[in-house]
Amino acid sequence: MIAAPKPDLVTVNIDGVDLSVPKGTNVIEAAKLLHKDVPHYCYHPKLSVAGNCRMCMIEMGTPAFDPATKAPVIDPATGKQKINWIPRPQIGCGTTVSPGLHVKTSSPMVKDAREGVMEFLLINHPLDCPICDQAGECKLQEQATGYGRGYSRFIEEKNVKPKRTQLGPRVTLDDERCILCSRCVRFSKEIARDDVLGFVDRGSYSTLTCHPGKKLENNYSLNTVDICPVGALTSTDFRFKMRVWFLKQTHTLDIESSVGVNAVVWSREGTIYRLTPRRNDEVNDTWMADSGRILYKQVAATDRLTAVRLNGADTSLDIALNAAAALLKDGSVSIVGSGRASVEEQFLLKQLATPIGAQGHLVARTATGDKLLISADRNPNIRGALVTGLISQLPSAELKQLSREIDEGKIKTVVSHGEDLLAAGLTAAQLAKVAVIYIGTHANATSAAAQIVLPALHTYEKAGTFVNQQFRIQKFYAAVPGPQGATNDLVVLAKLVASTGASAPASEVHALWPSIAATVPALSSMLYKNIPDTGLLLDATAWAGLPFVEGESLHFKPAAVAAAEGARS
Amino acid sequence: MDFSLYFDLPLWFRLVLQGTIVILVLFPLAAACSMAERKISAWIQGRPGPNRTIPPFLAWIPGINIIRNLGLFQLAADGGKFTFKEDPVPGNVNKFYFILAPILSMIPALSTISFVPFGAYFTTLADGTKHLVPIMLARTDLGLLAVFAVSSLGVYSLILAGWASNSKYPFLGGVRASAQLISYELSMTLSILPVFLWVNAPGGEGTLSLFDVVQTQSQPGFLGGMWYIFLMPVSAFVFLVALFAETNRQPFDMPESESDLVGGFHTEYGAFKWSLFFVAEYAHMIVGSGIFCLLFLGGWNPLPWVSLGSFINLAAGVLPCVASPLFMGVIGITFFLLKVGFFIFFFMWVRWTLPRFRYDQVMNLGWKKLLPISIANLIFYAVAIAVKDLCFPNL
Amino acid sequence: MATITVERKPLSLLERTYIPNIVAGLTTTFKRMVKPTETLQYPEQRPAIPTGYRGVPTLVNDPHGREKCVSCQLCEFVCPPKAIRITPGEIANDDPNAHVEKRPKAFEIDMLRCIYCGLCQEVCPEEAIFLQNQYSMTGYTRAEMVNNKDRLYELGGTLPDQHYKWDKKKTAAEAASRGGHH
């Protein structure tokens, strides 16, 4: 790693505390470093500054200089340089730090200004909190606690605006609640690069709307719901489903592609209600694609596998594992791992493959990337298989080598970890020639044809790690328990490994990591609990030569592009 | 009326019949006491008490609600329950003694009644004189001595129950019971000695018969017709207090001590066995009240200085049939039962008024207060009776 | 803290015999015994329910028959024994109350868990849940002791208040759509 050049630091004074911050930081971010909250609605750290909500008022002053001599003016009372306080409050988001800048974030004037802003915002805001989905995570509610009046002086009729406008297939607008912060407008323009939203009309008639003939239907539209500080933009999927204060938040990862978007699973009592992005400035900032958010529906899908099956009949896990062990002992085994499995599972598959001399395969899934948060590689963890040594070459979409070996009669047993072999290029006739051990979550053609079916857990039901396109290893945790009948993949794999005669590996993530660290060079001296929430970059030089399919996306440049840029500079 | 048919029956048959009748009266009476106790406690506490139970097939009878409100059907239901409910025997008890104890508790309770006269009637002897005959099962001279001898056996059932239960609370209850019963027996016996000193005038035939005690309260004259409660109030008081202790009634309920020993000696008992203890306690109470009435309240005599005989002679002037032995017996028994009934009520009244003594207070009271008082009382009356006999032999 | 030692008055001889106190006690209990009883013969006689009594929690309608609950789930959240379970639902567009947008699809109160604390009533922003006079809640099975939405409205009846918050809102919206105040 090349050490980043030290940014130019600027010393400011916030509420009497001196603080060095990088040049270009605004007052809200500088105050945040001191854990001082400057309330705001329109400001968003990843969007341009609009400065139109006027909530982040602060009092500021600059050191006084003699206009003639440019010499500092010293206050005789204190012996320090005199501060020229600006008599009116300023907005914190639009004020970048300058040397010697003095800021008051909670002076009476500031509080008065904020209370005035709050009263104006609440004049036309409907009293919808009991039915509003934003209640509980609403910035307006939060700030009303600190700066609200408690009663309204407004006796006139409130504005009436449309309550249920469909801005797009996934977003519903409640116009009455909108406080015109324009975060959604800026997001569409700057991040999604799909400039569909805007305000029309003036004054209290101002309304958020789509440009004529357009709809908010890009694959990032739900981010507008996330960043909406009030309940104006709501997710049509999550609307009126559950109050947010009941939901448990579990850190997880997007399983849509190799970008490894950090996400949060919101669940209550074993039911997942929604997925939202989690801020990681190295990977996804605060964004997530809509297509990744609906993947939680796989968890409660009707075609989940919940019964252990042996030759088409329900059986117990132990009997099925014994049968599988017998098949593995006969030799001539091939293992098809999955790019959707965790590093730990791929590690155990490698442990299974080594003693029985089986070769590991993976199935590639590729599609066009969107250059933002969906990459061309739609497997979240191909690099995990490389790191653990399950595969040494990049996989292809079809299992040509396995197909050939089956035809030649070299393979008698195939272990598939969640991959549909028929979709990966094998024919039904080929499958009929071999015994298939299928460890997976959902029913498909392969599970129907398999001799042994071992139901497993979905990503949101188990803990583990993925290695994303940056070779960043990131953790996810179990959000909900699995369905009855399904067993953790690690437990199944550990028992299969033990049945080959090798010493039984641990079947729990934390307990397994010491042996992973001891076996896998790239992961040496790491432990699951020590991996930070924002992930850890691995040394990827060993795989630098491989032709990865990913193109450029947010915070990621393929090695070739990076090398070319490096050569240019 | 002619009872010769009855008296022609063999003696053993008559005794069995009489005994059975007495037990058949006493046993339900003891059970009825439990209902009386529940009703009295309820009234004292401002409640109506059990007043709901009624067999559905009787509900149509007009006016039956009075019986229902008195809880008599509840009594029957309780009896049925005790008879038919499961009778558990805990695992580690000494089974033989555990089962023996409640049976043993019934024996003294029911057999002491043999020595208690309930009333009297006149028979005309062959020479034409009228002779008063007591109504009782066993007319022996032993009288009170037999009652004391048998009733003091009652403590064995308590000790046995406490010990056989193999559990600390019953054990403590049993130990307390034995100590308490023995302590109070002393004052009890001493307190009634003056009565017999008075009854057994010098020169006469010595007797301990309770019938004779009543007879001496039925004499003409001021002293002759005086009930002994007026003559010997201290004796009566000590006897009454000791009676409370002997029947394990509040405020001397040491063997049970619900508040610190769960249920005392009968903690481990249930169902029918427990109900035997229960009935035995009430039977003790009835017999004890009876003895108190005989000793101090003139037995079946209606009023002080008015003996049953003179009452019957008076009444016969108005209604001649009352002079027949049957009527006279019934009237005598009625007066006797009225007095006993009042004392049973008194027992309950005290129970729902006074809190229980502490164990040390019970011992203190028994040994340091009642015993000296009864001894002093005995000495006083011994001297007084001697002085009376020597100086005023004709009084 | 200052300790004040109170001298205990020695008992007189009469007091030491307990007899006066026993007689006084017996007098008291006897007087009590002849007085009429205080007991209420429950199933036939019912107690007078004071105002503010906290009985079985119920849901109420407004005088126009609109269910007041909008399934905000605050009661479910505040309920200390977690007796309340609400499944929120959206009101269909063709419903006369469509302007309220939200109503409970299912509303269950487990009366085996309920502790009659009244926090649900206190927290309700719509004045939809009330602990009313009903105090005798019985059943033979656990399922019978769970009041569902229909039963809760049956128990609750109508709250005769005249707020009509949502109706006013609907009127304003209709006025706006006719070109009145925006």
Tens of pLDDT, residues C13-54: 888 878 888 899 999 999 988 888 888 888 888 888 998 899
Of B47, B350, B352, which is closest to C39 when you measure between CB atoms? Answer: B47
Residue A310: count of CB within 10 angstroms of its CB: 19
Q: Are A162 and A36 found together in one domain?
A: no
* Separation between Cα atoms, residue B99 and residue B164, nearest integer Å: 9
Point out the residue among B42, B46, B349 whose CB comes nearest to the CB of C35.
B46
Separation of alpha carbons A32 and A22, rounded Å: 13
Instruction: Check residue A1 and give its pLDDT.
Output: 43
> Rounded distance, CA A416 to CA A440, Å?
8
Statement: residue A198 has pLDDT above 90: yes
Answer whether C20 touches B (CB < 8 Å): no
At residue A40, does pLDDT exceed 50?
A: yes
Residue B4 has what pLDDT?
65
Q: What is the pLDDT of residue B1?
A: 46
Does a structural domain hold residue B44?
Answer: no
- What is the arithmetic mean of pLDDT over C162-174? 83
Q: Is C21 on the interface with B (CB under 8 A)?
A: no
How many residue contacts between B and C have a Cβ separation below 8 Å? 34
Test the C interface: residue of A240, A244, A247 with most C CBs within 10 Å: A240
What number is the average pLDDT over the span B320-341?
Answer: 81
User: In this structure, is residue A59 part of a structural domain?
Assistant: yes
Which CATH number is A57's domain given?
Answer: 3.10.20.740
Cβ within 8 Å, pair C26-B349:
yes
Looking at chain C, which subunits does it touch, using at least 3 CB pairs closer than 8 Å as the criterion? Answer: A, B
Give chain B positions within 8 Å (CB) of C34.
43
Contacts of B48 in chain C (CB under 8 A): 37, 39, 41
Average pLDDT, chain C: 89
pLDDT at B193: 86
Provide the residue count of chain B: 395
pLDDT in tens, A164-186: 899 999 999 999 999 999 999 99
How many angstroms away from the CA of C69 is the closest CA of chain A? 9
Strands A413-417 and A333-336: parallel
Whether B19 is covered by a domain: the verdict is no
How distant, in Å, are the alpha carbons of A171, A235, A564 from that of A218?
11, 14, 31
**Which range of residues forms the domain containing residue B225?**
93-391
In the predicted structure, residue B239 carries a pLDDT above the cut 70: yes
Q: Are residues A14 and A46 in the same domain?
A: yes
Work out how many domains chain A is built from and give that number: 3
Q: How confident is residue B23, by pLDDT bands cut at 50, 70 and 90?
A: confident
Tokens coding A65:
């200089």
Tens of pLDDT, residues A138-162:
999 999 999 998 888 988 888 888 8
Can you tell me the ipTM of this complex? 0.82
Q: Going by DSSP bridges, is the β-strand pair A9-14/A102-104 parallel, antiparallel, or unpaired? A: parallel
pLDDT higher than 60, residue C62: yes
Can you give the residue range of the structural domain that contains A75? 9-116
Number of domains chain B is built from: 1
Q: In terms of CA atoms, which chain B residue is nearest residue C36? A: B46
Q: Which residues pair with B327 in a beta bridge?
A: none
Task: Verify whether the Cβ–Cβ distance B353 to C22 is below 8 Å.
Answer: yes
Strands (E), chain B: 119-124, 130-135
Residue B135 lies in a domain: yes
B40 contact residues in C (CB cutoff 8 A) = 33
Of chain C, the percentage scoring pLDDT greater than 90 comes to 47
**What is the pTM (predicted TM-score) of this model?**
0.75
Rounded Cα distance, A498 and A502, in Å = 5
CA distance A239 to A245: 14
Residue with tokens 């005309």: B124
> Does the pLDDT value for residue B252 go beyond 90?
no
Q: Is B225 within a domain?
A: yes
pLDDT higher than threshold 80 for residue A395: yes
Say yes or no to pLDDT of A312 above 50.
yes
Which among A161, A163, A240 has CB closest to C88? A240
C-alpha pair distances (Å), A228 with each of A48, A125, A231, B206: 15, 14, 7, 113
Of the three residues A116, A139, A166, the one that is the final residue of a domain is: A116
C26 touches B: beta carbon within 8 Å: yes
Assigned domain for A272 exists: no
* Percent of chain B whose predicted confidence (pLDDT) is above 70: 96
Domain ends where: A213, A244, A275? Answer: A244
C41 touches chain B (CB under 8 A): yes
Give the nearest chain C residue to A124 (CA atoms).
C182
Residues A248-268: tens digit of each pLDDT:
999 999 999 999 999 999 999
Closest-CA residue to B138 (of B63, B200, B208): B208
Neighbours of B376 (CB within 10 A): 12
A154 has a chain C CB within 8 A of its CB: no
Q: Closest to C29 (Cβ–Cβ): which among B47, B48, B353?
A: B353
* Res. B280 pLDDT band, cuts 50 70 90: confident
Q: What structural domains does chain C harbor?
A: 65-159 (3.30.70.3270)
Q: How high is the pLDDT of residue B176?
A: 85
Q: Are residues A102 and A167 in the same domain?
A: no
Same domain, A471 and A327: yes
Residue C9 pLDDT > 80? yes
Chain A / chain C CB contacts < 8 angstroms = 51
- In this predicted structure, the answer to whether residue A2 has a pLDDT above a threshold of 60 is no
The verdict on residue A229 lying in a domain is yes
Q: Do C101 and A163 touch (CB under 8 A)?
A: yes
Report pLDDT for B91.
Answer: 83
Sorting pLDDT into bands at 50, 70 and 90, what band is A243?
very high
- A182: Cα separation from own chain's centroid: 23
> Is residue A405 over pLDDT 60?
yes
Residue A322: CB partners within 8 Å, gap ≥ 6?
A499
- What chain A residue is nearest to C124 in terms of C-alpha separation? A130
Residue C86 pairs in a beta bridge with C107
| CA-based nearest distance B346→chain C, Å | 10
* Closest residue of chain C to B349, computed from CA coordinates: C26
Residues A96 and A173 reside in one and the same domain: no
Write out pLDDT tens, residues B125-143. 667 677 777 777 777 777 7
The tokens describing C78, both together, are 């505040």
- Is A567's pLDDT higher than 80? no
CB contact under 8 A, C25 and B354: yes
A279 within domain boundaries: no
At CB < 8 Å, which residues of chain B contact C? 40, 42-48, 349-350, 352-354
Name which of B93, B144, B79, B80 is nearest B117 in CA terms: B144
Specify burial of residue C90 (Cβ count, 10 A radius: 0-12, 13-18, 19+): middle
CA atoms within 13 A on the CB side of B329: 10
3-state per-residue secondary structure call for chain C: CCCCCCCCCCCCHHHHCCHHHHHHHHHHHHHHHHCCCCCCCCCCCCCCCCCCCCCCEEECECCCCCECCCCCCHHHHHCCCCCEEEEEEECCCCCCCHHHCEEEEEEEEECCCCCCCCHHHHHCCCCCEEECCCCCCCCCCCHHHEECHHHHHHHHCECCCCCCHHHHHHHHHHHHHCCCCC
- Kindly tell me whether chain B and chain A come into contact, counting contact as 3+ Cβ pairs under 8 Å: no
- Tell me the C-alpha distance between A188 and A220, whole Å: 8
* Residues of C with Cβ-Cβ distance to A131 under 8 angstroms: 70-72, 100-102
> Is the peptide bond preceding residue B102 cis, with omega within 30 degrees of 0?
no
Domain final residue, candidates A202, A224, A244: A244
**A463 and A498 both lie in a single domain:** yes
| Residue A389, domain CATH | 3.40.50.740
- Do A189 and A315 have their domain in common? no
Overall average pLDDT of the B367-371 stretch: 88
pLDDT at res. C179:
67
In a domain, A261, yes or no: no
pLDDT tens readout for residues C144-160: 999 999 999 999 989 88
pLDDT value of position C43 = 85
> Is residue C167 pLDDT above 90, yes or no?
no
Distance (Å, whole) CA A363 – CA A361: 7
| Token pair of A262 as six digits | 């950090």
Which CATH number fits the domain that encloses residue A151? 3.30.70.20
pLDDT at residue A378 greater than cutoff 80: yes
Q: Tell me the CA distances in angstroms from A472 to A284, A517, A552, B281, one per residue in order.
A: 13, 16, 16, 87
Residues in chain C with CB shorter than 8 Å from the CB of A205 are: 182
Give the confidence band of C119 by pLDDT, cuts at 50, 70, 90.
Answer: very high
pLDDT of B102 > 60? The answer is yes
Does B217 reside within a domain? yes
Residue A47 in this model has a pLDDT that exceeds 50: yes
Is residue A115 very low, low, confident or very high in pLDDT (cuts 50, 70, 90)? Answer: very high
Is A22 within a domain?
yes
pLDDT confidence band for A93 (50 / 70 / 90): very high
Average pLDDT over residues A133-141: 92
Residue B54 has a pLDDT of 87
Nearest-Cα distance to chain C for B150, in Å, is 32
Chain A 91-150, CB below 8 Å of chain C: which residues? 126-127, 129-131, 135
For chain A, the average pLDDT equals 92
What local confidence, expressed as pLDDT, does residue A257 receive?
A: 93
List CB contacts (< 8 A) between C165 and chain A: 127
Q: Is residue A400 part of a domain?
A: yes
A378 and A235 assigned to the same domain: no
pLDDT for C74 beyond 90: yes
Q: Could you tell me if A445 and A541 lie in one domain?
A: yes
Domain-located, residue A355: yes
Question: With bands split at pLDDT 50, 70 and 90, how would you rate the model's confidence at A60?
Answer: very high
| Sign of the Cα pseudo-torsion (B228, B234, B236, B239, in order) | negative
Asked if the C-beta of A151 comes within 8 angstroms of chain C's C-beta atoms, the answer is: no
Determine the pLDDT at residue A558.
87
> Which of A160, A207, A245, A273 best tests the C interface by mutation, with the highest count of C CBs <10 A?
A160
pLDDT, tens only, B31-88:
788 888 888 888 898 888 888 888 888 878 888 888 888 888 888 888 888 888 888 8
Average pLDDT of the residues in A223-246: 94
- Higher model confidence: residue A503 or residue A567? A503
Does residue B26 belong to any structural domain of this protein?
no
Given a cut of 70, whether residue B268 has pLDDT beyond it is: yes
Q: Is B57 part of a structural domain of the chain?
A: no
Average pLDDT rounded to a whole number, residues C70-84: 94
Query: For residue C66, is pLDDT > 50?
Result: yes
Interface of C with B in 85-144 (CB under 8 A): none
> Within a domain: residue B9?
no
Percent with pLDDT over 90 in chain B: 2
| pLDDT per residue as tens digits for the range B137-178 | 777 777 788 888 888 888 888 888 888 888 888 888 888 888
Q: pLDDT tens for residues A481-491? A: 999 999 999 99
